[in-house]
Chains A and B, each alone.
Chain A
């Protein structure tokens, strides 16, 4: 039944891949409470109208500065944070309408890998138990089978069998990150949100973890939403890239297209800031004036307009731009391309 459904979907999409995940107009505001009665005094507008799709088996990179809402997008998709509005469709199911048992079942299909390898593992639990936790929650297999799955996962991420009995404090950061990956994989999910999985690691370990992620993607046919702030990491691992600025999506396109032909002024500035390992090559850098405004009180209209070098008066500061598609498969949220 499900197979058939998937086949149908496949044929209806280009190059054999169909949208596993569709995010439509996702909005998340966090209340700021204050005063004696803990009343809501303001809203942090963390995510504003973000829409993108993730095709089965691909990696979508989600980039942006700190505090631009990329982590919030990831967590809201997984229902770790409840959304303010918008909807997310996964495998044909509307995630935000799921309750109780249905939600629990759905969680098997989507997992998360965290940024900080030190706090993402329970310090009082041997890592073997941490990895098997998902299997215990969903009552999959006998204890022996669960143990075998645990060992298999450990081997997959390049750790040894006897590590299962050890505690997190006995591992290095890179090892712990691999344990986190093994835990996310134990339930055999289809989709993984990797929330800056390498930003807390040494550069030498980063490539190791990235390669493991790629290998596992090929082996299990995984789909990743890869959150990062490092453009070279994103270029290495992503098929398509979403660029975010202050809670809004500014650009969404293929990786090659994005790096070759960035359309949004913010993306252009971002690209010009990537260092080139050639001291003789001079390049014009686009310097953005000022700082990122506070998401408590974002600028009216386009959120980027106070810092934009191609700012159109009476348009950008009045109305927020919708997503335009000047070239096929290249979405950009900017009035320049209307």
Chain B
């Protein structure tokens, strides 16, 4: 409700203007977050990485798949035959390493972000419905979640993704998604199928922990008197979940999402590293790192260069998650 709205209604505007702006929860949280030095620093670093990923085509004169015969393993700073600078040298096939790294950032970050987004949405829906409904539904859903959680994720991920990647042409993926991803990631629609499938697989195996967290938060929230007040006024369960439970559970879910994001970057990288993720020629940080294994003693900068963004992103995202947790916890007075 803005002051203008007060004016429209001919209400006590003078008093409203004389008072300081209301301190919304959001303002309190941002103020507290900006006191967390490490988190703010991490935010800047991550912001730069994301900016580089967005501006990738502007930052390199090479295409990530452009081959240059005879100029494999050029050292950083050397020039191509037509005089363009290879900022970080070239890989085994003579492709510009800097170009590949920054195009890979687009792909790796998109995979992690969309997987986490899907996971958070599924978690919020399943957790709140299960927690609020309670009873038999809750027991069934949570036992199922616990069962799925006992299966070690990485081996399962390996099996499923290898199966899917082998049969990717048999799996119908909507043209719309295929083309959208291809445009977003600047790759061929054929290759974007892999990206889409990887997102689905990662999200499909990652939603359990967030559902459990959401359920726990909802269980404690639904006993609060303000939920009872809402019920006494005649609110339906759906209304209570949407207007009271979800907004109040958002803080822990955001923290969990930020930490989960780092996890998904690692997962994507490890899958690609093991050769079960997105395949060459589509660049990702994982498959670039994987490709450097054979030459790491002759050209030691290659694994360092492709490992650095993975390290940087997970570290900064974890710091941001820590900062968010401190900022969103109302019990901590910073």
Q: Which residues of A contact B (CB under 8 A)?
A: 38, 75, 78, 80, 103-105, 107-108, 110-112, 114-116, 119-126, 128, 130, 133-134, 137-138, 144, 147-148, 151, 160-162, 164-167, 169-170, 180, 183-184, 187
Contacts and interface: CB of A to CB of B under 8 A. Distances in A.
A115 B228 CA distance: 12
A148 B233 contact: no
B32 interface: no
Task: Report the contact-size class of chain B (Cβ under 8 Å from the partner).
Answer: 20 to 34
B226 A80 contact: no
A119 B224 contact: yes
Interface in B138-192: 139
A167 B22 contact: yes
Nearest to B229: A120
B69 interface: no
B248 A161 contact: no
17 contacts: A80-B232, A103-B234, A108-B233, A112-B229, A115-B225, A116-B225, A120-B226, A121-B226, A123-B25, A125-B247, A134-B233, A137-B233, A148-B9, A164-B1, A165-B1, A170-B22, A180-B229
Interface in B48-85: none
B296 interface: no
Given A125-B247, A165-B1, A107 B233 contact: yes
B233 A111 contact: yes
Given A80-B232, A162-B16, A167-B24, 13 more contacts: A104-B234, A107-B233, A108-B234, A112-B229, A119-B226, A123-B248, A124-B250, A126-B22, A144-B9, A160-B12, A162-B15, A162-B19, A164-B1
Contacts of A105: 234
A112 B233 CA distance: 9
B11 A124 contact: no
A107 B19 contact: no
A123 B228 CA distance: 14
Given A120-B229, A124-B25, A160 B15 contact: yes
Give 10 closest A-B pairs by Cβ, nearest first.
A162-B16, A107-B234, A134-B233, A120-B225, A104-B234, A124-B247, A114-B225, A161-B12, A122-B226, A166-B22
B1 A137 contact: no
Contact of A170 (B11, B23, B234): B23
B34 interface: no
B232 A111 contact: yes
A112 B239 contact: no
